[in-house]
Amino acid sequence: MGEILNKETKIYVAGHRGLVGSAIWKNLQARGFNHLIGRTHRELDLLDPVAVRQFFDEEQPEAVVLAAAHVGGIMANLCYRADFIYQNLQIQQNVIGESWRHHVKKLLFLGSTCIYPRMAPQPMSEEVLLTSPLEYTNEPYAIAKIAGLKLCESLSIQYGCNYIAVMPTNLYGPNDNFHLENSHVLPAMIRKIYLGKCLYTHDWDSIRRDLKRRPVSTPSGEVADEQSSEDLICRVLAHYGITSDTVTLWGTGSPLREFLWSEEMADACVHILLHVDFKDTYSHTASSAGNAMQEIRNCHINIGTGEEHSIGETADMIVREIGYQGVIQWDKSKPDGTPRKLTDVTKLHQLGWHHRVSLQEGIHRLYQWYLTEEGFR
C-alpha cells in the first residue's frame, strides 16, 4: 500500500464545486489537508489548454484529483453526444497531460461504471472492460472515460507515474443536480415526487420556494419561477409529468441500479489517494510467455456498494420518505437504459474500504438536505 501524502501537500481538486469534487474536498479537509486548490469554471476553463497549462505553471500542485466532467442523464447523453465526448476528452487531455508535464506525484481520475458493456456479466468486475459493445445512450461519454483511464494507466506503465483511475457507481448526495430532465435518475425522482406532493396538497409556498431556486422551463420557452401564475406553473410541471394527482417517471421501473452516497464515494477516493499506489491495482504475475513483458491492464478500481435496487423500488422508497399520496405512473415509451449495472467491488474491499450508508438512509439524508437552506442556496 502507498504512503499517506503529507498534510502540507498541495492538492488540486478539479471540479471542487460539483457533487463529486465538493465531497472529496470536504473529506480531505476533515482529514487535515488544508493546502487545497480549487477553481470555478469562470476562473479556469478546463477546455482551454493554454489556461490549464498556465494554472499548473503558477500553482505547481503536487497531487491532483480530476473530478471535473461534463455529465448528465439519459436524455442529455442522447441529445448532446458530441458535447459529451469532446468536452470530457478535452478536460482529461488538459488536466492529466499537464499533471504529467509538471511531475505531479499522485493523481486520481474519476470515471463512471458506464464504461462497461451494456450486457456485461453481473456483477461487473474491472476485467470486463472492452469485452463487448457499450450502452448506446451514453457511448460517447463512456468512450471518453475509457480514454481517461487508459491515459492514466499508460502514463503509469511507461513513465512510472502514480496515476489511478476509479470508477464510481451511480452517485447521489449534497450538491446534486436536480434538473427535471438532465439530472441523474435518483435526484430527478426526488424533486419530481416532492413537487408532486406539493401540488397534491396545494402547498404553493413550497412550490414557489422551489422554483425560486431552480426555475423550470419547457422546450417551447415557457418558464416557471416563483413569480409565475399557478396556471403557468401547472402547465410547465405537467410537461415533466407532474400533475395535481400523478407523477410520471421514465421507463418501466424494472432496471436494476446500484447507488452510492457521494460522501462515502469521497471517503473511498481519499482512501485510495492516500493509501494505494498504482502498483497495488493489478496482479504481479509472471508472464506466461517467459521473458515477454507482462500485460498490465484493467488497473482501475470500481467504487460502489455491491448492492442493487430496481428503479421502481427506489421510487417507492422516495414516495415513503416524502409522504406522497398521489399516483406514480411509468412512461414506457421512454428509454430504460442499461438493464442492470452492479459493480464487483472485490478489489476495493481488498484495498481496505467498505460502504456503510444504505440506500434508504441515503434517500432520507438527501431529501432532508434538499429541504434545508443549503439545498436552496
Tell me how far apart the alpha carbons of residues 208 and 225 are, in angstroms, rounded to a whole number.
Answer: 7
Query: Taking a C-beta distance cutoff of 8 angstroms, is the pair 148, 92 a contact?
Result: yes
**Set 80, 116, 136, 141: catalytic member:** 141
Element at 148 (helix H, strand E)? helix 139-159
User: In terms of DSSP bridges, do strands 163-168 and 301-303 run parallel, antiparallel, or are they unpaired?
Assistant: parallel
Q: CA–CA separation, 215 vs 207, rounded Å?
A: 10
Q: Which residues contact 368 (CB under 8 A, 6 or more apart)?
A: none
Q: Is residue 311 within 8 Å of residue 73, measured between CB atoms?
A: no
Mapping DSSP to helix (H, G, I), strand (E, B) and coil, where does residue 329 land? strand
Cell numbers linked to 165: 483511475
Q: What is the residue whose three cell numbers read 504529467?
A: 100
- Reduced to 3 states (helix: H, G, I; strand: E, B; else coil), residue 158 is helix
Q: Is 141 a catalytic residue?
A: yes
For 136, list phi and psi in degrees, rounded to 5. Answer: -60, -40
Rg of the chain on CA atoms, in Å = 21
Helices 81-101, 49-59: crossing angle, 10 deg rounding: 30
Catalytic positions, written as ranges: 141
